[in-house]
């Protein structure tokens, strides 16, 4: 069970929250306990011809929130001829699909103000940052001609820096992995060879297995692990006379086990994290930007903060303050609410107690990212790391090397990606202090250039971002399939609900998109049936 | 020892030839048996000022062969003011760094003629195709402003198709890996728990290890492996009501062991193959093209086939036939010979018996690649595979999905990458038969579109390419550090030698480049010392 390890590793707790939930629900599905699965590709987008066949016109829809769920809702409804209006309180669409570039500003709920000083062409994806091949998000990239490139999620030459490691020195990911796989293979080969698994394995199994383990662990005589070229070299093989010097500092099996390094290798095998991953070229917000253009910018009203939502027999009325601060109202045939549930529940509304109970079950989780712009790409030239993640058990948790602009002049590292209580603590620091603290911890891994080459930084504490107030949500122990959420997933009235949190892939655009498509499908069926 | 598995897996034999040699020489280095290693970064490029300080001018150098070793030699010498002439028999530079685009032609030694019909923007890298982060090749990409992008070397969603697999059906790479790691973890956890490894492990070790294995294998109660979400889903998690259906067809431990699938997972941990890998944007030949421009196209003479090389006390004379077929000769102060050793040895020359013995020790190895251009990227839309390698134990060995132009209209798969005797057999087929045979085998994995969507193909049998006649070389059991090669690595006269085969990284541009830098360094030292 991944859940066991989650309690051991703060970073896995948050990242794995998704994987853990997926595991549980998938198992329910396999056991027949969950509703019958419907292939995602079965989505039938609403079509204008659906109405034409009836001799009627599509209705109007107001959409609360211009994040991915709201934009996909508006885009799919717009294609069918619905008159859509998106109300977005912030000055841009995309929600947590946030790409920060030079000039971008953030004043958070504590009043901390930042203005990004990143050089032109440099950016950080402060929220959503990666796409798996199977995710529906890629289909919208294709449809809207948003080019993609590889996001490197695991890098053999990035570092692992765990305090229990021998000598406390960072080691390369490939080195730690070779040692872990090497000793695992040695131990299993010895146990097999000595007959300890004769109850489990046939003689044929044993012969093939020990052969495989010798290869998988790069074992020597008598199944001993004595290091491997897979650990890397202190001098890499080159011209004649330079055969290469393999790293010789092979730790003992007890040191490898005690270091805790092994727990980090499951991440790259996760159903949602396995390589290759992808990102839009130029920033993750290229997709919400393309969606906004496709919807029509005039239908997307920025700076509009909704304060009330009233459902009646004939329509839905939304009250909001516009970008100039004037109070306005808008009535439409239907509404799709894609706001964060903890903010939606605070509106003046008449959605009823069941809806309130469902919205209240979704509780925000904190996370934060720090972008560090450097004057040189010293991690490429000095450390020969091109993209990928360095892991540490200090509170910065992860350092991401940029997966774009390789060989370029400058670059933006992600200096931390942290969760829960750690993220809350950093969110309470002034931005400069976040930078100083994180840079001090990173310097232990990378040396002085981590400090001396720094040009500027920008940090996003998601719990403190106005109109967002969280990184993602947990459902208070409920499955998304729980009856608690039926009033949101299968609503009875004119108000529909969508968001990544209302899906089986919370925190992923994939979940937001499929949630939106479900809402759109329900709304469209209702509109066609209405008289 | 990787060598054991090499004999079991044809594909690993050839790919691993490098890894195996590296292992051996690295071990020699670690044991102090090999010459002291010199860091590759210590290269001091020759400088014009070296001569100015002496009040002299740089000399002239004729370079035989316009592959990477020849181009790097010319580039580095040219920067220092040497008058360089590169003689290249083919109609382009780059040698085995060959990118095939629409309109490119090949008439091989058997007389088979092909003309590539690839659509504009589509290409195949028929030879060199990937770069590791630590390789010096990337430094030249930086210096010459050749942009790079990720080459996906392992893909969780690509297929493995081995004949011993249960039901003979292809499985996803992630599925096979989850089962292999799952059972490996189960067996080791059980053996550990039952005390079979008490001689190797302390009580603390055992507790941490079984915890790690539970995570690494995604094990359930009593350390049983019962499948995992890491295997992937038949229906991926989506909106509420679609929790996802995990793949349920978990094979038995004996089936997994007997399938032989485990041997394939070491590849992605190899010191030269671990992810991420890279490629120049637009084709691998962007680097030799940039080098050729930097050298000056007028100094690179195409279509010039060398027939004789004569060393005298005062210089080196090269006889060659030029692009018009006229016999010419050229005398320079020095020569660098970068031709394939089995062709170089056939020239009329006076290099002596020791040089002949050394050149004769390098024997060419066969390999071949097939490019298949498709009218649609059905592997992306239907199989959701974006880049990476499908492995099979049939003679096509590997299928590569393109790591560029994702989401595009068309794409070029590599339909086989095969070695040795298999490559020789395909080389003997007419190109159309290679295509038909390979497509028939690929269709078993991917279904009908593998045949019906095919637009055109182009195949390169390296043993049959004029003036190349091989994919790479083995050294007849010698280490590159063997005294056999001293006459080439530390030559006494005016002729120097370079090539990937004369390095500890045969078949890699990294080896060719460092070999060339060594030759340039020796030559420059000789030139400065000469009177």
Convert A290-323 into a string of H (helix), E (strand) and C (coil). Answer: HHHHHHCHHHEEECCEEEEEEECCCCEEEEEECC
The residues with which B383 forms a beta bridge, in sequence order, are none
Q: How many CB atoms lie within 10 A of CB A174?
A: 24
pLDDT of residue B164: 84
One domain, residues B103 and B82: no
CB B46 within 8 A of CB B79: yes
Give domain status of residue A357, yes or no.
Answer: yes
Domain boundary at B416, B442, B462, which?
Answer: B462
| Alpha-carbon gap, residue A295 to A283, rounded angstroms | 20
**Residue A367: enclosing H or E segment and its boundaries?**
strand A367-374
Q: Which of A306, A318, A305, A310 is nearest to A352 (CA)?
A: A310
One domain, residues A75 and A107: no
| B5/A481 CB distance under 8 A | no
Q: Which residues of B touch A487 (CB under 8 A)?
A: none
pLDDT of residue B172: 97
CA-based radius of gyration for chain A: 26
Question: Taking the alpha carbons of B349, B355, B361, B367 in that order, is the dihedral positive or negative?
Answer: negative
**Residue of A26, A135, A187 lying closest to B188 (CB–CB):** A187
Distance from CA of B454 to the nearest CA of A (A): 21
DSSP strand pairing (A495-497 vs A334-337)? parallel
Among A57-61, A110-114, A274-278, B499-503, the least confident range: A57-61
How many domains are there within chain A? 4
Percent of chain A with pLDDT over 70: 92
Give domain status of residue A280, yes or no.
Answer: no
| Alpha-carbon gap, residue B399 to B411, rounded angstroms | 13
| Alpha-carbon gap, residue A449 to A381, rounded angstroms | 12
Q: Which residues of A touch B26 (CB under 8 A)?
A: 229, 233, 237, 243-246
Task: Find, in chain B, the residue whose alpha carbon is nearest to that of A188.
Answer: B188
Q: Is B43's Cβ below 8 Å from some Cβ in A?
A: no
Q: Is the peptide bond before B224 cis (omega within 30 degrees of 0)?
A: no
CB A390 within 8 A of CB A398: yes
pLDDT of residue A57: 84
| B276/A191 CB distance under 8 A | no
One domain, residues B388 and B348: no
CA atoms within 13 A on the CB side of B355: 24
| Alpha-carbon gap, residue A242 to B25, rounded angstroms | 9
Question: Which domain, by its residues, includes A16?
Answer: 1-37
CA-based radius of gyration for chain B: 26
The two structure tokens encoding residue B266: 């070491």
pLDDT of residue A157: 98
| B243/A1 CB distance under 8 A | no
One domain, residues B302 and B290: yes
Please state the rounded mean pLDDT for residues A235-264: 95
Distance between start and end Cα atoms, chain B? 52
Scan residues 317-376 of A and list those with Cβ closer than 8 Å to B.
none
Q: Complex ipTM above 0.95?
A: no
Q: Is B204's Cβ below 8 Å from some Cβ in A?
A: yes
**Residue B324: enclosing H or E segment and its boundaries?**
none
Give domain status of residue B275, yes or no.
Answer: no
Give domain status of residue A42, yes or no.
Answer: no
Distant-in-sequence, close-in-space partners of B505: CB < 8 Å, separation ≥ 6: A237, A238, B18, B22, B135, B272, B511, B514
Question: Among all chains, which residue has been given the structure tokens 């904190």?
Answer: A366
Q: How many CB atoms lie within 10 A of CB A530?
A: 11
pLDDT of residue A15: 33
One domain, residues B429 and B373: yes
Domain boundary at B259, B294, B322, which?
Answer: B259
Q: What is the pLDDT of residues A276-303, one digit of tens each?
A: 999 999 999 999 999 999 999 999 999 9
Q: Which residues of A touch B406 (CB under 8 A)?
A: 147-149, 278
Give A477's DSSP letter: T
One domain, residues A148 and A295: no
Q: What is the pLDDT of residues A313-342, one digit of tens each?
A: 999 999 999 999 999 999 999 999 999 999
Give B149's DSSP letter: E
The two structure tokens encoding residue B271: 């010191």
Distant-in-sequence, close-in-space partners of A105: CB < 8 Å, separation ≥ 6: A113, A114, A115, A116
The two structure tokens encoding residue B13: 């034999």
Residue A21 has pLDDT above 70, yes or no: no
One domain, residues B171 and B240: yes
Give B161's DSSP letter: E
CA separation, residue A322 to residues A89, A306, A464, B255, B331 (Å): 8, 9, 22, 64, 82
Scan residues 227-286 of B and list those with Cβ closer than 8 Å to A.
228-246, 248, 253-254, 257-258, 260, 262-263, 265-266, 269-271, 274-276, 278
Residue A53 — pLDDT band, cuts 50, 70, 90? confident
| Alpha-carbon gap, residue A318 to A312, rounded angstroms | 11
Phi, psi of A274 (to 5 degrees): -65, 145
Q: What one-character-per-residue DSSP string does A169-237 give?
A: --EEHHHHHHHHHHHHHHHHHHHHHTTTTTTT--HHHHHHHHHHHHHHTT--GGG-----GGG-EEE--
One domain, residues B371 and B454: yes
Q: Is A73's Cβ below 8 Å from some Cβ in B?
A: no
Q: What one-character-per-residue DSSP string does A26-89 give?
A: HHHHHTT-SPPP--GGG-----HHHHHTTT----EEEEE--BHHHHHHHHHHHHTT-EEEEEES
Distance from CA of A18 to the nearest CA of B (A): 10
| Alpha-carbon gap, residue B433 to B399, rounded angstroms | 17
Cα angle: B71, vertex B77, B79; to 5 degrees: 105
The pairs formed by B384-387 with CB atoms below 8 angstroms and a separation of 24 or more are B384/A133, B384/A134, B384/A138, B384/B157, B385/A133, B385/B155, B385/B157, B385/B158, B386/A133, B386/A138, B386/A148, B386/A276, B386/A278, B386/B152, B386/B155, B387/A150, B387/A276, B387/B150, B387/B151, B387/B152, B387/B155
pLDDT of residue B521: 96
Give B519's DSSP letter: H
Task: Find, in chain B, the residue whose alpha carbon is nearest to that of A272.
Answer: B230
CB A188 within 8 A of CB B188: yes
Greater confidence (B2 vs A109) lies with A109
One domain, residues A373 and A444: yes
Give domain status of residue B307, yes or no.
Answer: yes
Q: What one-character-per-residue DSSP string does B439-482 give?
A: HHHHHHHH-THHHHTEEEEEEEEGGGSTTT--SEEE-TT--TTS
Question: Among all chains, which residue has been given the structure tokens 């493995």?
Answer: B160
Distance from CA of A163 to the nearest CA of B (A): 16
| Alpha-carbon gap, residue A157 to A161, rounded angstroms | 13
| Alpha-carbon gap, residue B270 to B16, rounded angstroms | 9
One domain, residues B239 and B194: yes
One domain, residues A372 and A455: yes
CATH number where A307 lies = 3.50.50.60
Distant-in-sequence, close-in-space partners of B325: CB < 8 Å, separation ≥ 6: none
Scan residues 469-508 of B and list those with Cβ closer than 8 Å to A.
479-481, 485, 488-489, 502-505
CATH number where B408 lies = 3.90.660.10
The mean pLDDT of chain A is: 92
**Residue A344: enclosing H or E segment and its boundaries?**
helix A341-344
Please state the rounded mean pLDDT for residues A152-176: 92
Residue A225 has pLDDT above 90, yes or no: yes
Q: What is the pLDDT of residues A373-390, one digit of tens each?
A: 999 999 999 999 999 999
Give domain status of residue A179, yes or no.
Answer: yes
| B25/A243 CB distance under 8 A | yes
Give domain status of residue A195, yes or no.
Answer: yes
3-state secondary structure B173-216: HHHHHHHHHHHHHHHHHHHHHCCCCCCCCCHHHHHHHHHHHHHH
| A511/B269 CB distance under 8 A | no
pLDDT digit string (tens) for chain B, length 531 residues = 233 333 333 333 333 333 333 333 333 333 333 333 334 457 888 998 888 888 888 899 999 999 999 999 999 999 999 999 999 999 999 999 999 999 999 999 999 999 999 999 999 999 999 999 999 999 999 999 999 999 999 999 999 999 888 777 899 999 999 999 999 999 999 999 999 999 999 999 999 999 999 999 999 999 999 999 999 999 999 999 999 999 988 999 999 999 999 999 999 999 999 999 999 999 999 999 999 999 999 999 999 999 999 999 999 999 999 999 999 999 999 999 999 999 999 999 999 999 999 999 999 999 999 999 999 999 999 999 999 999 999 999 999 999 999 999 999 999 999 999 999 999 999 999 999 999 999 999 999 999 999 999 999 999 999 999 999 999 999 999 999 999 999 999 999 999 999 999 999 999 999 999 999 999 999 999 986
CATH number where A199 lies = 1.20.1440.240
pLDDT of residue A531: 63
Question: Among all chains, which residue has been given the structure tokens 């990173």?
Answer: A442
One domain, residues A76 and A209: no
Give domain status of residue A477, yes or no.
Answer: no
């Amino acid at each position: 069970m991944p859940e066991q390890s989650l309690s051991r590793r703060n970073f896995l707790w948050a990242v794995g929250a998704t994987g853990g939930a997926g595991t549980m629900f998938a198992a329910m599905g396999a056991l027949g306990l969950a509703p019958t699965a419907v292939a995602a590709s079965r989505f039938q987008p609403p079509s204008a011809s659906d109405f034409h066949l009836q001799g009627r016109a599509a209705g109007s829809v107001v959409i609360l929130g211009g994040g991915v769920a709201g934009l996909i809702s508006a885009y799919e409804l717009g294609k069918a001829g619905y008159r859509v209006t998106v109300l977005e309180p912030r000055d841009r669409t995309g929600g947590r699909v946030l790409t920060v570039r030079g000039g971008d500003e953030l004043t958070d709920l504590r009043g901390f103000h930042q203005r990004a000083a990143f050089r032109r062409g440099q950016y950080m994806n402060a929220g959503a940052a990666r796409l798996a091949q199977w995710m529906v998000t890629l289909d919208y990239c294709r449809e809207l001609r948003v080019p993609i490139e590889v996001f490197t999620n695991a890098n053999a030459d990035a570092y692992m820096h765990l305090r229990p490691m021998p000598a406390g020195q960072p080691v390369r990911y490939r080195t730690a992995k070779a040692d872990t796989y090497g000793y695992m293979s040695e131990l299993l080969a010895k146990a097999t060879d000595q007959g300890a698994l004769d109850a489990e394995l046939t003689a044929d199994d044993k012969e093939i297995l020990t052969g495989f383990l010798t290869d998988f662990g790069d074992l020597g005589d008598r199944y001993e692990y004595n290091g491997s070229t897979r650990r890397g070299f202190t001098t890499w093989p080159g011209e004649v006379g330079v055969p290469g010097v393999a790293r010789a500092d092979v730790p003992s099996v007890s040191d490898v086990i005690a270091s805790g390094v092994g727990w980090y290798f499951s991440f790259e095998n996760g159903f949602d994290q396995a390589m290759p991953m992808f990102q839009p070229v130029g920033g993750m917000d290229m997709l919400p930007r393309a969606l906004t253009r496709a919807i029509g910018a005039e239908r997307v009203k920025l700076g509009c903060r909704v304060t009330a939502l009233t459902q009646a027999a004939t329509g839905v009325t939304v009250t909001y303050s516009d970008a100039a601060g004037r109070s306005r109202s808008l009535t439409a045939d239907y509404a799709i609410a894609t706001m964060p549930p903890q903010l939606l529940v605070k509106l003046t509304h008449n959605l009823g107690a069941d809806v309130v109970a469902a919205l209240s079950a979704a509780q925000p989780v904190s996370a934060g990212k720090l972008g560090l712009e450097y004057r040189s790409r010293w991690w490429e030239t000095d450390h020969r790391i091109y993209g990928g993640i360095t892991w540490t058990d200090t509170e910065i948790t992860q350092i991401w090397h940029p997966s774009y602009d390789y060989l370029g002049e400058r670059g933006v590292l992600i200096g931390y990606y942290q969760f829960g209580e750690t993220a809350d603590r950093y969110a309470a620091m002034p931005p400069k202090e976040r930078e100083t603290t994180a840079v001090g911890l990173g310097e232990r891994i990378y040396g002085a250039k981590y400090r001396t080459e720094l040009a500027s930084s920008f940090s996003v504490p998601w719990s403190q971002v106005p109109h967002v107030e969280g990184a993602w949500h947990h459902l208070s122990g409920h499955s998304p399939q729980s009856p608690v959420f039926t009033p949101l997933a299968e609503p009875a009235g004119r108000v529909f609900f969508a968001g990544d949190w209302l899906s089986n892939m919370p925190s992923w655009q994939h979940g937001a998109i499929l949630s939106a498509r479900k809402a759109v499908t329900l709304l469209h069926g209702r509109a066609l049936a209405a008289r």
